[in-house]
A and B are shown apart, each in its own frame.
Chain A
Amino acid sequence: MATLDPEIARVQEERKKMEQQLASLSSVTYDTDLYGGTDRDAYVSSIAVNEEEENLEGMDSEVARKLASYTAPKSLLKEMPRGGEEDDGGLGFKKPQRIIDREDDYRRRRLNRVISPDRHDAFASGDKTPDVSVRTYADVMREEALKREKEETLKAIAKKKKEEEEAAKAGVAKETEAAPAQKRRNRWDQSQDDGGAAKKAKAGSDWDMPDSTPGIGRWDATPTPGRVGDATPSVGRRNRWDETPTPGRLADSDATPGAVTPGATPAGMTWDATPKLAGMATPTPKKQRSRWDETPATMGSATPMAGATPAAAFTPGVTPVGGVDLATPTPGAINLRGPITPEQYNLLRWEKDIEERNRPLTDEELDAMFPQEGYKILEPPASYVPIRTPARKLLATPTPLGTPLYQIPEENRGQQFDVPKEAPGGLPFMKPEDYQHFGALLNEENEEELSPEEQKERKIMKLLLKVKNGTPPQRKTALRQLTDKAREFGAGPLFNRILPLLMQPTLEDQERHLLVKVIDRVLYKLDELVRPYVHKILVVIEPLLIDEDYYARVEGREIISNLSKAAGLATMIAAMRPDIDNIDEYVRNTTARAFSVVASALGIPALLPFLKAVCQSKKSWQARHTGIKIVQQIAILIGCAVLPHLKSLVEIIEHGLNDENQKVRTITALSLAALAEAAAPYGIESFDSVLKPLWKGIRSHRGKVLAAFLKAIGFIIPLMDALYASYYTKEVMVILIREFQSPDEEMKKIVLKVVKQCVSTEGVEAEYIRTDILPEFFRNFWVRRMALDRRNYKQLVETTVEIANKVGVADIVGRIVEDLKDESEPYRRMVMETIEKVVANLGASDIDSRLEELLIDGILYAFQEQTSDDANVMLNGFGAVVNALGQRVKPYLPQICGTIKWRLNNKSAKVRQQAADLISRIAVVMKQCQEEQLMGHLGVVLYEYLGEEYPEVLGSILGALKAIVNVIGMTKMTPPIKDLLPRLTPILKNRHEKVQENCIDLVGRIADRGAEFVPAREWMRICFELLDMLKAHKKGIRRATVNTFGYIAKAIGPQDVLATLLNNLKVQERQNRVCTTVAIAIVAETCSPFTVLPALMNEYRVPELNVQNGVLKSLSFLFEYIGEMGKDYIYAVTPLLEDALMDRDLVHRQTAASAVKHMALGVAGLGCEDALVHLLNYVWPNIFETSPHVINAVMEAIEGMRVALGAAVVLNYCLQGLFHPARKVREVYWKIYNSLYIGAQDALVAAYPVLEDEQSNVYSRPELTMFI
């Protein structure tokens, strides 16, 4: 290595020299002004490969850093532009996502499971002895036992081999070393699998037991299509047979079956070789023959093996050799008929692309590339022999045999490019990966020739494809058909089609959702027919239970719950029992979760006997572990509903606390924790029996088990009475305090949590905490290292706040206040956050003068020393403490203000911003301390900084000014308002949202309270600026602007403001006009309508749609705002509304109708009926409008009239059309009648028309004619 370095250095040197020469030769010189000298080393010479990821991480921290601003969250802003690219999905908002891409390794283990063959349905066959070919429960159990033994034996063999190897390596001298190594392995924190395996090595002699002979049942499993058949998906020892086939490997795994067996002992060899035989049974056609034997014409039916050269994928039907008219072969032409996995497909596509670029250049191309002169074509050397290897030959562009004249290429219609073939019969588009499952649909065979069974299969396939890939309507009908015909199709054919689809590695979320939906519907129909398929279904559905997507989990639960209702408890147990002690932890985990769903579906009592048996299993610890885990999952799933069964559940698992296996002990404690959490705050009596073992256990256990025990205790203590809680807390506290020192992170978190739980219970007294817990707690946890890990940090702050709630502010703050001056910044931040929370919870009355001094001192130090405050912890802490201390900060205020002033002048924008933010937080307290002079001074300082160029900082400065103005009032404000406001006018132009918002708030406040300090001309100028702000994106800004118009109009009279606003009605932007109309209405409200209405109505004469509509809209808002005041103006505007209601333009009528509505509602009961009836006559003809907005406005106007005029009047209008001969008319009238009826049913009784009696029917209402 060392010799290489100088060489590399030399080469680099040379290259640098050459580059320099090159630079001078090409005479392109650097613009030194632009690039700052020739120092190119400063540039980034390469771009990071994983830039994308770094940015992703960066984004989060950026969000946190920028949180100080009031703009929209940056994460949202960043997300928006991406929407455009992803839009190709069409319907969904999210790009279709493959499930496998977001799964971790553990979840991906679902693909290792095999969809097991059908099982015997004991209910269906009654007493009959099951057929030998059918797998019964006994068969399955036997297989499981076998598998487990095999696994253990293999492990033992591997271990032995390894030991032998080690021993050999160590040599004779170190022979003894194996023994201690073995011993070490038995440490608590290592899984016992390893330890157990050594013992089991001897048990491996079970082989000759009759049971374990590999019976027929083992290998006749139906292999999953598309996967190399291996009936033993063993994950503990992954071998190559388990893996999802990658195309390249698929090929060579076939070629050399035995040679690559991992860990190949002779025994292992035979085992591993056997699946090979099973593999033969897979429907995937195996390539045994050499492909060179085949004529190209038959290629069409051969499986294109991706590992092979692309020759195999040649266009079928084209003879590749010597074809004169042969077009450039399309190497990647996809064979549509054969099953092809998506990986193969991608590989082919990639290959095609690369080969297209790398094909050798022809003479013509070379001629075209090189200049005609100056080059000479050399004869090939005599020794040159062209490549004859057929594979490479085929790659070459075929040289035309004849004279290279142009020939019209014969069109080959049979040629298939990689465009997928059009699916026949209106089937939806098929993705490459679908060919494997739906390829048969493309064979255009005659439907009649197929057997009924095949026809049924095809029908199912078609429907499924429509569900999976079809358009929504297609999907809907297909789903309905599948549901309706489910029993006709039969459970077997249906599930044999659906389930493999769900195991597809390229499945997307949406597809899975749809397929799961199919299963759900079909289940409902099939009912007891699903029994033989229960396990199959579980294999594909169980992974949903641990999916990270919440909805997937819910879906999974629903399916399993329906499945258990359909199949019944016995079948469910029979199906899942073998998985309970499966060797694979993944299988056991998912099975436990599935069982908890079964329990919630069929009721816990039904499952209790089984659970009891499983939890006491003597045969394997795995069974006990899973059984106890089921209890845990039940508690998590159904929450407080465990209460009725709490006692029995606890009894079932309690013995697990003393189990010989430590994993079982751990899970038992965790289950108890889950049960206690679910039952809280009830049910302590059920836990009586476990208290002793738990409390004894914490004295004897260490490590993980201890952590689990502590967790259980932490959840049980809050359930206890005060007295017991205190006693048990004291018992456990000894251990907790000992574990304070534990270096294990997990243990630390649990200890903190348990301390929090113990401390918050009633019976634990402050004095005890103070004397017994606090010293150790602070010594061990309040250290710098805790601040570095986010989760530790949070947990510690929470726990300390909880302790403070018990022992008071002074104790806690007194202990950590010194740490505000610690040299580690994250630690200071943690201290500050704790102080903030404690003080905010409990106030500062406990803090004595000495502590107060220390606190302020520390806070000032921490505030000044901060370099990066992402979450504003320091700022919030400062604000909280100052506000809590109230008038007691008075002596420190000059110092604080000095700091603020100094920091306002800081170079860093962030620091200036924080200083300004701090002012707005403490302004109220400063007022309390009568430091008005100081505030005035700060006001002047802030005023001087209004030239700030960073918008974030400027926004904060404006906010600070606003806070000061708010507390000291307009008159006392320095700088005087008349100086301040003109300075704000130009800032209104700033486009930054934070600046806009704070500025408009400040201006509005001044306009509201101190308008008289500013000349009218200045206000007019501001009005013009404000118009632009009506366009703001943020609603708060627009609202503040509109309000400000009102204040200004009040201050300087409406005429000028109104003129400005009316002019603004002519602009194009709709939002701008809408806001203007609102502003006009507000001006009218604040300055009385009579000052505004004349000008407004005059504006209606402008023959321009937008203006007229704007006027109408203003009227609508105006009447909405002024309410009862409207009665004085209704007669004035009636002619205008008459005109608008008769206008051709729909929007005129719509807006006028809504104006009428507001008017009617405002003047109800004030004696304006004559005008309203008049207006109703104009509104009424519009009832036949079809545009939704117009008809809505009209209906609402009529509703308004009902309120103002009474239901009877409107009913009279209705009666004319209720029985109109034209249905269209009747429909509209009945609609009006109905809303009238719902609004005023009772009032209509007196107004109904008199109907005459008919033959036998009495329609009259004689009661109403009664008279005394």
Chain B
Amino acid sequence: MQASDRFNINSQLEHLQAKYVGTGHADLNRFEWAVNIQRDSYASYVGHYPILAYFAIAENESIGRERYNFMQKMLLPCGLPPEREDD
């Protein structure tokens, strides 16, 4: 980044974006992105009641149980992070 770029609106935009959980950056790896996707998905399922009801019927579970499950899955949605090979 050039010195002149440092203060313009675009860098501020990036700074602003970085404040949100779930945004990415150039060094994000597959695992991290996937975790974000999973969590967003679960949050979306929990947030939309009709979808939750649909899943509940498909899995023959109560809606509350479904919601609980999704919330639990958000903890480690993709399992433990893989070992980093480079460091």
Contact = CB atoms under 8 A, between A and B. Distances in A.
Interface of A: 1186, 1188, 1191-1192, 1195, 1218-1219, 1223, 1226-1227, 1230-1231, 1233-1235, 1237-1238, 1241-1242, 1244-1245, 1248, 1251, 1254-1259, 1261, 1263-1264, 1266-1268
A1237 B14 CA distance: 13
Nearest to A1242: B44
B82 A1261 contact: no
B41 A1261 contact: yes
B54 A1257 contact: no
Given A1241-B40, A1242-B44, A1257 B55 contact: no
Sorting the interface of chain B by its residue count into under 10, 10 to 19, 20 to 34 or 35 or more gives 35 or more
Interface string B56-87: 01110000000000000000011110100000
27 contacts: A1186-B5, A1188-B10, A1192-B9, A1192-B10, A1195-B10, A1219-B30, A1223-B26, A1230-B26, A1231-B10, A1233-B24, A1234-B14, A1234-B24, A1237-B22, A1241-B40, A1242-B40, A1245-B40, A1248-B37, A1254-B82, A1255-B82, A1256-B79, A1257-B31, A1257-B79, A1257-B82, A1259-B30, A1261-B38, A1263-B45, A1268-B57
A1251 B34 CA distance: 8
A1180 to B, nearest CB: 17
B25 to A, nearest CB: 5
Interface in B1-45: 5, 8-10, 13-14, 17-18, 20, 22-26, 28, 30-31, 33-34, 37-38, 40-41, 44-45
A1188 B23 contact: no
B24 A1259 contact: no
B41 A1234 contact: no
A1234 to B, nearest CB: 4
B34 A1257 contact: yes
Contact of B30 (A1191, A1251, A1258): A1251
Given A1235-B13, A1259-B78, A1248 B41 contact: yes
A1218 B79 CA distance: 23
Chain A CB within 10 Å, residue with most, of B23, B40, B57: B23
Contacts of B17: 1231, 1234-1235, 1238
Which 3 A/B pairs are nearest by Cβ-Cβ distance? A1226-B26, A1234-B17, A1234-B23
Main SS of the interface on chain B?
helix
Contact of A1218 (B5, B24, B47): B24
A284 to B, nearest CB: 47
A234 B45 CA distance: 81
A1267 B55 CA distance: 9
Contact of B55 (A1188, A1227, A1245, A1263): A1263
Given A1227-B25, A1245-B44, A1257-B31, 10 more contacts: A1218-B24, A1230-B25, A1230-B26, A1230-B28, A1231-B13, A1238-B17, A1244-B40, A1259-B30, A1259-B38, A1264-B41
Contacts of A1261: 37-38, 41
B28 to A, nearest CB: 7
Given A1188-B10, A1230-B28, A1266 B55 contact: yes
Nearest to B24: A1230
A1148 to B, nearest CB: 21
Contacts of A1219: 30
Contacts of A1257: 31, 34, 78-80, 82
A1268 B33 CA distance: 30
Contacts of A1264: 41
Contacts of B18: 1234
Contacts of A1255: 82
A1188 B40 contact: no
Contacts of B22: 1237, 1241
Contact of A1268 (B5, B14, B58): B58
A1268 B53 CA distance: 12
Contacts of B45: 1263
A1186 B22 CA distance: 26
A1176 to B, nearest CB: 20
Contacts of A1231: 10, 13-14, 17
A1188 to B, nearest CB: 5
A576 B79 CA distance: 65
Contacts of A1188: 5, 8-10
A1263 B37 CA distance: 13
B59 to A, nearest CB: 8
Contacts of B5: 1186, 1188
A1259 to B, nearest CB: 5
A293 to B, nearest CB: 61
B58 A1267 contact: yes
A1219 B34 CA distance: 13
A416 B43 CA distance: 78
Nearest to A1224: B26
Chain A CB within 10 Å, residue with most, of B5, B25, B26, B30: B26
A1237 B23 contact: yes
A1230 B24 CA distance: 6
A1244 B24 CA distance: 14
A1242 B78 contact: no
Nearest to B80: A1256
A1258 B38 CA distance: 10
Nearest to A1228: B26
Contacts of B44: 1242, 1245
A1191 B45 CA distance: 35
A1248 B22 CA distance: 14
Contacts of B28: 1230
